[in-house]
Structure 1
Amino acid sequence: MANVTMRDIAENLGISIVSVSKALTGKAGVSEELREKIKKEADRLGYRYNFGAKGLKEGKNYNVGVIIPSYYTDDTSNAFYVKMYQCVAKCLTNYDYATMLELADTRMQEMMILPQIVDDNRLDGMILMGELDESYLEKLRQTNLPMIYMDFYDLSMETDSVSMDNISAEYKMTEYLIGLGHKKIAYVGSIDATTSIMDRYLGYRRALHHYNIPYREDYLIEDRGADRLFKELVLPEDMPTAFVCNNDEIACILIEKLEKMGYRVPEDISVTGFDNYPFIRRNASGLTTVDVDIAMMASEGVELLLERLNEKRETFVRRVVSGHIVIRESTGKVVEP
C-alpha cells in the first residue's frame, strides 16, 4: 500500500486516529497491548513515521553514531563488530532511532580528525565499538555528546561502558585446560593493545596462580604490532601443550601454523579461542572458545545510552556481560611424554 496514513491504520483496526497517533509517537493514553497491535499493523502496511517532524518538535535528531576503528574491520576480523553493529541497530530501531556508521582510520586518529557524522551535528549520541587511541577518545569526549563504550571500558570510569567479563571467562578457560592435565600453557595476545586482551590475560594468570603453576615469560606471545594488526607469531622453543588465545581468529591462525610445523591439534597441542564466531575462518567451527553474548551487550549498551539521553544521568556505569565456554574438538587431554 502506497502512502499509508494513520487513518488507514485506524480504519483497519476499527479505532480512532488519536489512538494510532499516541501509539506511534510513544505517548500515554493507550494500553501496551493496543500499542503493540497498532505498531504491528503499521509495519504490515508499510507505514513510515515522519521522524524528522518528531525530532524538530522534541529537539532531537533521532540519530546515533556508531564509530568503529578501521583496523578492527580489516580482512575477516570485522565479523565480530559487524554482528555487534547489526544488533545495536536493531535495538535502536525499537526506540525510533536510526544508526549512522563511520570507520575511524589510523590517519583520522593521528591527526585528530572527527568523524564526518560528528562534525555534521546530526547525532544525539555515540556508541564506540572497539578501543581507540586514548587521545582520540578524549577528542570525542570533548564534543559533549552522550556516548557509550562497547567491548572496552574507561579505567577512570568517566564514560558508560558495556564489556565482557573477560577475566572470569579466561580464568575458566585456563582452569578447563588445567583440568585436562595441561601445565605448560601459553597465552597469545598483545596485552597492551586493548583492555579486553589485558583482562583475558589477567584471568589466565589468575588461574595459573590458583593452581600453583609457575608463570613463564616466554609463554606470553605477542599477536599484533603497534598498528594493532596481526603479526607473525613467534613460538617458544620449549613448546607449550596448550595455548589460550585472546580471540578466535588468532587461534585459527595459530592452528594453521602448528599444523604446518607438523603438530596435530588437539592430539599434540590444545588451542582455545574467544568470541565464538565460527564463520571467521575455515577451521573455526571446531574451536573450543568462549561464547560472547553480543545481542545482550548491544541491548545493555542501547539501554545505557537511552538512559543518558532521556534522563540526563550524572553518574557513570560499567555493565559486564557473562560468557560461557563452548567445548569443541581443538582441546584434549595432555599427552604424557
Structure 2
Amino acid sequence: MNKKKVTMEDIANELKISKVSVYKALNDKHDISEELKRKVFDCAVRLNYKYIDPLVKQCRNFYYIIPKRFMSSTEQFYFGIFKELSKILSDIGATIEIHIADQDFSPKDFNTNVRAYRHEKAKTYGVFWAGIIPAQTLESFLDIDIPIICIDNYIQNRTGSFIYIDDYHAGYEMTEFLIQQGHRNICFVIETAISTNIDKFYGFQKALYEYKIPFTPSMHINLSLANMQNFKYFNIPSPLPTAFLFDSDYSAQNFLITMISKGYDIPKDFSVASFDNTSLCEETIPRLTSIGVEPKEIANAAYRMMLKRLSSTHIKPYMMILYSSITIRDSVGTCRETSIE
C-alpha cells in the first residue's frame, strides 16, 4: 500500500493554521512572521513534505566557511550564526562543520577533499559562506554545482543566493542615535577598504549631513583595532571626540580595555558604540551599546534559503535583506556639551 502523499493541508492541520499561511511560509512571503516560517518548515521536514525532500534525502552534510583574513574582527559575529545553524540542522538530523578558508582557498580542491572524506556517500553537500566571497570563488562553487548561501555579502549582477545585512542603514541609525544623545564630535574608527565597512561609513556620513554636522578628516580613523598591534598607529584626535564608533564589537572591546587602562572613564569622558551586537557586548565593562541582526534571525534566513536552493533545479539570483536594530547598554551617555533641538 502506497504511503499517502503529504500536502500543505496536512501541514496546516498539524499546526492548526490556514493552508494559505503554509503556502506563504514555504514561499518566504514577507507578511508571515519569522517564527511561523520556522515552524512550518520544521513541520514540513518532520512530515516528509516533498519539497523538503532534497534537504533530508540528498543533502545531510553542510560546511560553514569563514575567510581567515576576517576572523579577528568578525569571529564572535560569524560563530554566533554558526551555533544557531548547528541547532537548526541537528534538529533534522543533518550535520554542519566549520572550515577556515586561507587566502589560496580553492573550491575545486575543497570539493575533492570533501568527496574523499565522505567516500561519495552523500549525493551532494551544501556550503554556507560567511563574509566576503570573491566573485571567482562563488563562480567556482556554482560551476561544480555545489549549493552555496552567501551570508553578510552581496555581489552585484552575479548568480547566487545572498543574505545581505543592510550596513548602510545600520551606519545611519547608529550615528543618528549618537547625535540624538547630543554628540556632534563623533570619531568613526573603521577600515573602509572592506566593502561592508564602506556601507557603514556612507551611512555615518549621511546622518552627519542630514543633521548639518560638517564632516572633518579627524572624524575618521582608517584603521581596524581588531588587531591589537594596530594601536601603535592609533592617535587620539584632539580635541577629544565625545563619542567613538567602531566597525565591530571586537574592535570596540580592544579600545575599551586599552583606554580604561590609561585612566579614562567611559561613558563619562566619551561614549563608545559599535556594530554586530555579539555576546562580547555583555562581557565588556561598561557593557557595549551596539547595532546588529540577531544570529538566530540570520541562521533561520540562511536555512530557508538553502531549502529553496536545494528544491530548485535552476539557479536564480536571489538576495534577502536583513535590517539591524540597536541594543542600548552602558557605554553611551548623554553629551553635556551640546543638545539636539
TM category (shorter chain) comes to 0.7 to 0.9
* 1:281 to 1:172, Cα distance in 2 relative to 1, 3 A: closer
1:102 CA drift (Å): 1.8
Q: 2:11 aligns with which of 27, 32, 39?
A: 32
Q: 1:82 aligns with which of 69, 79, 82?
A: 79
1:276 corresponding residue in structure 2 = 277
1:224 corresponding residue in structure 2 = 224
The separation in 1 between residues aligned to 2:153 and 2:228, in whole angstroms, is 19
Larger radius of gyration: 1
1:105 CA drift (Å): 2.2
Computed over aligned residues only, the root mean square deviation of the Cα atoms, in angstroms, reads: 3.6
Structure 2's unaligned 5+ residue stretches are 16-47
After superposition, what is the alpha-carbon deviation per residue over 1:32-70, rounded to whole angstroms, capped at 9, x for unaligned? 38878xxxxxxxxxxxx9xxxx98x96x24322221223
Letter matched to residue 155 of structure 1: Q
3-state SS in 2 of match to 1:271: strand
The separation in 2 between residues aligned to 1:118 and 1:333, in whole angstroms, is 57
> How is 1:1-337 mapped onto 2 (pairs within 5 angstroms)?
27=6, 31-32=10-11, 60-73=58-71, 78-93=75-90, 96-108=93-105, 113-114=109-110, 116-117=113-114, 122=122, 123-193=124-194, 195-224=195-224, 231-233=229-231, 234-238=234-238, 239-279=240-280, 282-283=283-284, 286-336=287-337
Structure 1 contact 164–323 (Cα < 8 Å) conserved: yes
After superposition, what is the alpha-carbon deviation per residue over 1:96-122, rounded to whole angstroms, capped at 9, x for unaligned? 54323322123536x985363377665
The separation in 2 between residues aligned to 1:211 and 1:302, in whole angstroms, is 39
* 1:31 to 1:245, Cα distance in 2 relative to 1, 3 A: same
3-state SS in 2 of match to 1:232: helix
* 1:323 to 1:311, Cα distance in 2 relative to 1, 3 A: same
The separation in 1 between residues aligned to 2:293 and 2:101, in whole angstroms, is 24
The separation in 2 between residues aligned to 1:86 and 1:282, in whole angstroms, is 19
The separation in 2 between residues aligned to 1:106 and 1:170, in whole angstroms, is 28
Structure 1's unaligned 5+ residue stretches are 1-16, 37-48
3-state SS in 1 of match to 2:275: coil
- Larger relative contact order (C-alpha < 8 A, sep ≥ 6)? 2
The separation in 1 between residues aligned to 2:305 and 2:59, in whole angstroms, is 18
The separation in 1 between residues aligned to 2:66 and 2:175, in whole angstroms, is 30
3-state SS in 1 of match to 2:330: coil
1:93 CA drift (Å): 4.2
After superposition, what is the alpha-carbon deviation per residue over 1:203-245, rounded to whole angstroms, capped at 9, x for unaligned? 11110111121122232223339xx956424134323211111
* 1:62 to 1:95, Cα distance in 2 relative to 1, 3 A: same
1:270 CA drift (Å): 0.8
1:269 CA drift (Å): 0.8
TM-score normalised by the chain length of structure 2: 0.73
Aligned length: 296
TM-score normalised by the chain length of structure 1: 0.74
The separation in 1 between residues aligned to 2:115 and 2:277, in whole angstroms, is 33
3-state SS in 2 of match to 1:186: strand
1:314 CA drift (Å): 4.0
1:13 corresponding residue in structure 2 = none
